[in-house]
């Protein structure tokens, strides 16, 4: 799984730390870090929560083209 740079960028855009996003989404900072590093594949429920917190759509944060998925 490739790193989720879109999530990192959206978080930076809102000037949020991983901890702040984690608190807002109701998960641990370790989980947000693992998602950004591409080490954890979140459930659709958590994806939606993160999208709501950051004011983005699922496509904007989690869509991957086929070539990205194989990285």
Asked if 28 touches other proteins (CB under 8 A), the answer is yes
The whole-angstrom separation of Cα 37 and Cα 30 is 10
Nearer to other proteins (CB atom), residue 13 or residue 41: 41
Give CA separation, 55 vs 1, 11, 52, 59, in Å: 24, 10, 5, 12
Q: Are 10 and 61 in contact (CB under 8 A)?
A: yes
35-54 positions binding other proteins, by CB under 8 A: 40, 42-43, 45-46
CB 31, min distance to other proteins, A: 4
User: Rule CB under 8 A: which residues touch other proteins?
Assistant: 26-28, 30-31, 34, 40, 42-43, 45-46
């Amino acid at each position: 799984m490739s790193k989720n740079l879109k999530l990192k960028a959206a978080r930076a855009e809102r000037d949020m730390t991983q901890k702040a996003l984690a608190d807002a989404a109701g998960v641990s900072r370790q989980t947000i870090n693992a998602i950004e590093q591409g080490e954890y594949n979140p459930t659709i429920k958590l994806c939606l929560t993160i999208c709501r917190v950051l004011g983005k759509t699922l496509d904007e944060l989690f869509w991957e083209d086929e070539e990205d998925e194989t990285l």
